[in-house]
Amino acid sequence: MIDKLIERIAEKQSPICVGLDTKFDYIPQEFLSREFEKDALTYAATNIFQYNCALIDAVADIVPAVKVQIAYYEMYGCEGMKAFRDTIRYAKNAGLIVIADVKRNDIGATATAYSSAYLGRTKIGEEEIPVFDADFATVNGYLGTDGIAPFVEDCRKYEKGIFVLVKTSNKSSGELQDIEIEGKTIYDRMADYVARWGEDCIGVYGYSSVGAVIGATYPQQAERIRETHPHIFVLIPGYGAQGGSAEGLIPNFDKKGFGGIVNNSRAILTAYQNEKYAGLSFEKAAREATLAMQRDILETFAKHGIAY
């Protein structure tokens, strides 16, 4: 799956992933359905799904992937989970690769259940059923190898991928992740594990299907990790609204523009509220914001001799 992602990035010249962290409040008033559903959760979830579909249609030809942040669906209950499931299906039908941002973690047996839900299959009697069936999932490695192994197994079995949290984009990520022992931080150690977990999943472009999450807000840390871990493909959140710049993305990428995919959620979802895009529909504003991000990244790439 990592090879397919890299090929789509090269094809579209777009190492960008649109984050569907769709809160009900983000949806423009005039787009909301006039038919009220039987309850508020169903109403919110239905509108979120419709909004996602319109957004996917607006960007499907200019990005290789979407990232669906499940927290924004769980908060609308079972109805929200339906919107999550249907958004994944819609995005895949539109030819996009789907990253389920679920940050799941547990002991082995339970991690197996999570992996069945997002990457693998659930066995019921003789049937083996793909459930949410995303292409990638994010996971948290605090429990160590036995909590990650079931996901890696499904990566191999079903050609999927995972991104393990290494250095997260938030302000307090250093509290634990930056603790240093004998010249190595906790995020360094996590990166070492990621490399080990993924060593049998390296594809034709030199990157493993077992990747890492490293925030755009921490370019020096990204550089440090990249130096010693050439095979780790990086999912990079934190560009835009969280303060990450295109310049800061560079350490993740090789000269062919491979090595990472940059997520942007809020600045694209709510681009229509930005005065730069005044007068545009939310779909057109989102498309323009995505194209502006692409230009920003490709221009910065060019300065560093990176090209597809």
Q: Which of 10, 54, 94, 143 binds a second copy (CB under 8 A)?
A: 143
Q: Which of 33, 95, 131, 302 binds a second copy (CB under 8 A)?
A: 131
**Six-digit token string for 177:** 């992740």
CA distance 70 to 133: 13
Tell me if 44 contacts a second copy by CB under 8 A.
Answer: yes
For residue 66, count CB atoms less than 10 angstroms from its CB and return exposed for 0-12, middle for 13-18, buried for 19 or more. buried
Q: How far is the CB of 122 from a second copy (least distance, A)?
A: 5
Instruction: Identify each DSSP E strand in the chain by its residue range.
Output: 16-19, 65-69, 97-104, 121-124, 127-130, 136-139, 161-167, 180-181, 184-185, 210-214, 234-236, 260-264
Binding-site string for a second copy from residue 182 to residue 221, where x marks contact by CB under 8 A and - marks none: ----x--xx--x----------------------------
Q: How far is the CB of 258 from a second copy (least distance, A)?
A: 26
Q: How far is the CB of 3 from a second copy (least distance, A)?
A: 28
Tell me if 50 contacts a second copy by CB under 8 A.
Answer: no
Cα four-point dihedral sign 235, 239, 245, 246: positive
Tell me if 278 contacts a second copy by CB under 8 A.
Answer: no
For the stretch 117-132, what's the b/e string if a residue is b when 16 or more beta carbons lie within 10 angstroms of its beta carbon?
bbbbbeeeeeeeeeeb
In this chain, which stretch among 57-65, 143-151, 245-253, 275-283 interacts with a second copy, using CB under 8 A?
Answer: 143-151
Q: How far is CA 82 from CA 46, 137, 256, 277, in A?
A: 9, 18, 38, 31
Q: How far is the CB of 166 from a second copy (least distance, A)?
A: 10
Task: State the CB neighbour count (10 A cutoff) for residue 8.
Answer: 18
Pairing of strands 127-130, 136-139: unpaired
CA distance 86 to 90: 6
240-259 residues in contact with a second copy (CB under 8 A) are 242
Tell me if 104 contacts a second copy by CB under 8 A.
Answer: yes
Of 111 and 246, the one with the shorter C-beta distance to a second copy is: 111
Q: How far is the CB of 114 from a second copy (least distance, A)?
A: 5
Distance separating the N- and C-terminal Cα atoms of the chain: 19
Q: Of residues 12, 103, 256, 284, which has the active-site annotation?
A: 103
Tell me if 37 contacts a second copy by CB under 8 A.
Answer: no
Q: Which of 53, 54, 62, 81 binds a second copy (CB under 8 A)?
A: 81
CA distance 101 to 227: 26
Tell me whether residue 103 is one of the annotated catalytic residues.
yes
Q: How far is the CB of 206 from a second copy (least distance, A)?
A: 26
Q: Which of 75, 157, 243, 299 binds a second copy (CB under 8 A)?
A: 75
Q: Which of 20, 72, 80, 69 is nearest to 45 (CA)?
A: 80
CA distance 163 to 51: 26
| Residues near a second copy, by CB under 8 A | 21, 23-24, 40-41, 43-44, 69, 71-72, 74-78, 81-82, 85, 103-108, 110-111, 113-114, 116-118, 122, 124-125, 127, 129, 131-132, 140-147, 165, 168-177, 179-181, 186, 189-190, 193, 237, 242
Residues annotated catalytic, as ranges: 103
